[in-house]
């Protein structure tokens, strides 16, 4: 075990930061509220490594929450962006760069007949639901407890304890009027969907789901669940939206739709599509996307939408994924991680101390259980205190993940096997001391 790391400068910057930003941060999870302690303030990243302002090095499994599938500062991204910086960072007018990226997206995901770029995942999901409401002329939509679709009012709803509840807001500042058409279902539950459709079938514009839920730890869809949703939505004239902000360009080349061979009507993307520069998109069936202005009457706009810098970063990322055959590398890292968990953690799995879930380059350790959770309720019963303990050992030993047990770990293509050895050995050490 190394010496205790020094975080003096991080702490000093956070003290200043708390005076200017709520909780010292520009997005809540960054505050370390979940894991305790003071956030690490970073200075730079290179490949698989992140460096903080005190000079500590970390192997990065956070990937800036997903976009950095190639790691930090990939040379082909840097040169593409440098070239664009000389030309223009924004036009607020059409450019070939946005068409080129959209065509590449269509090439990877042929179901995207028409799309639109926006600047954040929040805008993408908000706009996709608007398009669905416009085409169906219905108001209600279904989301799943524990799935995150950004912070637009209508999504900030928590489910009640029943199978379905009409929207109770889970955030202050969200009037109940804006969530009254939000219906909440239980992830992986057919019964919960049946109940909702029995009651509101003719009024439901959309069902939106993270096809792999990666905002409540990692929860995989039960075999056949996405097919079930496809069937029910089709029968009810409801638009099925896959929120692929996380899974798009990561779960496979064609994202979750291709991975599970289930075709939604609309998709939302973010993260990798902008290569780490703010960009997101929504798209899918032409008949739905034609509802969007100026073709249709559903208004949606953005000053920096299709931003040139983001468009070249996204294009360079997708191209480099192809050049490197990144999915193959990620798969072999993932398989190695599975085998390590088997080798090192089996006694603890047998004693229900830990459960490891992985799909492609997403992974998650749940503690205090050996059963992979199927929904939010099961996730919230896992041992988050133990996660926090492991988390701080990871930090002390130079492993960085998103600071919460409700987040996932991401593999990037520049991670090495020895980094996985270190990450798993720390889990093992903590579990040994707990024994
Ligand atoms: N959808 C999903 C599945 C997400 O994971 C996120 C963000 N993590 C969003 C939407 C919102 O994206 P953004 O933070 O870019 O608004």
Residue 112 clears pLDDT 90, i.e. is over it: yes
Among 126, 149, 214, 217, the mutation site with the greatest number of ligand 1 atoms within 8 A of its Cβ is 149
Interval between CA 147 and ligand 1 midpoint (Å): 10
Q: Output the pLDDT for position 2.
A: 54
159 — pLDDT class (breaks 50, 70, 90): very low
Q: Is the CB of 277 under 6 A from ligand 1?
A: no
Q: What is the mean pLDDT of residues 29-33?
A: 94
391 assigned to active site? no
Residue 167 clears pLDDT 70, i.e. is over it: no
**Active-site pick, 52, 58, 140, 148:** 148
Interval between CA 414 and ligand 1 midpoint (Å): 24
Q: Which two tokens stand for residue 150?
A: 């950004």
**Active-site pick, 271, 285, 353, 389:** 271
Residue 241 clears pLDDT 80, i.e. is over it: yes
* 172 compared with 24, residue with greater pLDDT: 24
356-391 core/surface letters (b: 16 or more CB in 10 A; e: else): bbbbbbbbbbbbebeebbbbbebbeebbbebbbbbb
Q: What is the mean pLDDT of residues 185-190?
A: 97
**Active-site pick, 52, 181, 243, 383:** 243
Q: Whose CA is nearest to atom 12 of ligand 1?
A: 121
Q: Which two tokens stand for residue 425?
A: 């050995």
Q: Whose CA is nearest to atom 5 of ligand 1?
A: 246
Q: Output the pLDDT for position 176.
A: 86
Give the contacts of 367 (CB within 8 A, at least 6 positions apart). 353, 354, 355, 382, 383, 384, 386, 387, 390, 405
The alpha carbon of 80 is separated from its chain's Cα centroid by a whole number of angstroms, namely 25
Interval between CA 179 and ligand 1 midpoint (Å): 19
Q: Output the pLDDT for position 171.
A: 86
Q: Output the pLDDT for position 166.
A: 53
Q: Output the pLDDT for position 4.
A: 85
431 with 348: CB under 8 angstroms?
Answer: yes
Q: Is the CB of 149 under 6 A from ligand 1?
A: yes
Q: What is the mean pLDDT of residues 236-246?
A: 98
Q: Which two tokens stand for residue 44?
A: 């730079």
160 — pLDDT class (breaks 50, 70, 90): very low
Q: Is the CB of 244 under 6 A from ligand 1?
A: no
Encode pLDDT of 292-329 as tens digits: 999 999 999 999 999 999 999 999 999 999 999 999 99
Residue 182 clears pLDDT 80, i.e. is over it: yes
217: left (phi over 0), alpha (psi -120 to 50) or beta: left
Q: What is the mean pLDDT of residues 102-130?
A: 98
334 — pLDDT class (breaks 50, 70, 90): very high
435 — pLDDT class (breaks 50, 70, 90): confident
Q: Is the CB of 298 under 6 A from ligand 1?
A: no
265 assigned to active site? no
Q: Output the pLDDT for position 165.
A: 46
Among 120, 127, 244, 245, the mutation site with the greatest number of ligand 1 atoms within 8 A of its Cβ is 245
Residue at token pair 């279902």:
185
Q: Which residues pair with 46 in a beta bridge?
A: 49
Q: Which two tokens stand for residue 329?
A: 């590398």
Q: Output the pLDDT for position 157.
A: 86
143 assigned to active site? no
Instruction: Indicate whether this model's pTM tops 0.95.
Output: yes
The lowest-confidence range among 135-144, 167-176, 208-217 is: 167-176
Q: Is the CB of 248 under 6 A from ligand 1?
A: no
* Pairwise CA distance, residues 421 & 172, whole Å: 43
Q: Output the pLDDT for position 50.
A: 98
Give the contacts of 17 (CB within 8 A, at least 6 positions apart). 24, 25, 41
Q: Is the CB of 121 under 6 A from ligand 1?
A: yes
Q: Whose CA is nearest to atom 10 of ligand 1?
A: 149
**What is the share, in percent, of the chain residues with pLDDT greater than 90?**
94
- Which domains are present in the chain? 8-73+325-434 (3.90.1150.10), 75-323 (3.40.640.10)
Among 270, 273, 274, 304, the mutation site with the greatest number of ligand 1 atoms within 8 A of its Cβ is 270
Q: Which residues pair with 45 in a beta bridge?
A: 50
* Pairwise CA distance, residues 210 & 91, whole Å: 33
* Pairwise CA distance, residues 140 & 134, whole Å: 12
Q: Is the CB of 245 under 6 A from ligand 1?
A: yes
54 — pLDDT class (breaks 50, 70, 90): very high
Phi/psi for 137 (5° steps) reads: 55, 35
Q: Is the CB of 210 under 6 A from ligand 1?
A: yes
Q: Output the pLDDT for position 422.
A: 98
Encode pLDDT of 259-296 as tens digits: 999 999 999 999 999 999 999 999 999 999 999 999 99
Q: Is the CB of 146 under 6 A from ligand 1?
A: no
Residue 21 clears pLDDT 50, i.e. is over it: yes
Q: Output the pLDDT for position 161.
A: 33
Q: Output the pLDDT for position 158.
A: 65
């Amino acid at each position: 075990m190394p010496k205790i790391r020094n975080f003096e400068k991080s702490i000093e910057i956070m003290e200043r930061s708390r005076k200017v930003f709520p909780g010292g941060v520009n997005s809540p999870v960054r505050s370390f509220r979940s894991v305790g302690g003071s956030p690490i303030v970073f200075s730079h990243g290179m490949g698989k490594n992140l460096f903080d302002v005190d000079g500590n090095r970390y192997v990065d499994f956070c990937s800036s929450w997903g976009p950095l599938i190639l790691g930090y500062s990939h040379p082909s991204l840097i040169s593409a962006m440098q070239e664009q910086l000389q030309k223009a960072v924004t036009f607020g007018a059409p450019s070939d760069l946005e068409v080129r990226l959209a065509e590449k997206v269509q090439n990877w995901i042929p179901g995207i007949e028409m799309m639109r770029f926006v600047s954040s995942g929040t805008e993408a999901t908000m706009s996709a639901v608007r398009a669905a409401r416009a085409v169906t002329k219905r108001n209600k939509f279904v989301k799943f407890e524990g799935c995150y679709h950004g912070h637009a009012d209508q999504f900030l709803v928590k489910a009640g304890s029943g199978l379905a509840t009409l929207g109770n807001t889970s955030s202050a500042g969200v009037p109940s009027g804006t969530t009254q058409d939000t219906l909440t279902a239980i992830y992986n539950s057919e019964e919960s969907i049946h109940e909702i459709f029995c009651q509101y079938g003719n009024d439901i514009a959309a069902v939106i789901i993270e096809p792999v839920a990666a905002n409540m730890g990692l929860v995989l869809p039960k075999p056949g669940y996405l097919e079930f949703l496809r069937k029910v939505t089709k029968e009810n004239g409801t638009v099925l939206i896959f929120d692929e902000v996380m899974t798009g360009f990561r779960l496979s080349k064609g994202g979750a739709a291709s991975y599970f061979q289930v075709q939604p009507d609309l998709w939302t993307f973010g993260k990798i599509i902008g290569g780490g520069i703010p960009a997101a998109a929504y798209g899918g069936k032409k008949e739905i996307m034609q509802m969007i202005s100026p073709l249709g009457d559903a208004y949606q706009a953005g000053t920096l939408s299709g931003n040139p810098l983001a468009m070249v970063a996204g294009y360079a990322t997708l191209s480099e994924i192809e050049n490197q055959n990144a999915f193959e590398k990620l798969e072999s890292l993932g398989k190695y991680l599975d085998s390590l968990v088997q080798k090192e953690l089996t006694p603890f799995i047998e004693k229900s101390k830990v459960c490891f879930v992985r799909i492609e380059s997403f992974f998650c350790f749940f503690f205090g259980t050996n059963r992979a959770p199927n929904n939010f309720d099961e996730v919230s019963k896992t041992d988050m205190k133990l996660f926090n303990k492991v988390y701080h050992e990871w930090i002390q030993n130079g492993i960085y993940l998103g600071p919460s047990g409700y987040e996932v770990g991401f593999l990037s293509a520049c991670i090495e096997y020895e980094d996985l050895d270190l990450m798993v050995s720390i889990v093992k050490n903590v579990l040994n001391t707990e024994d």
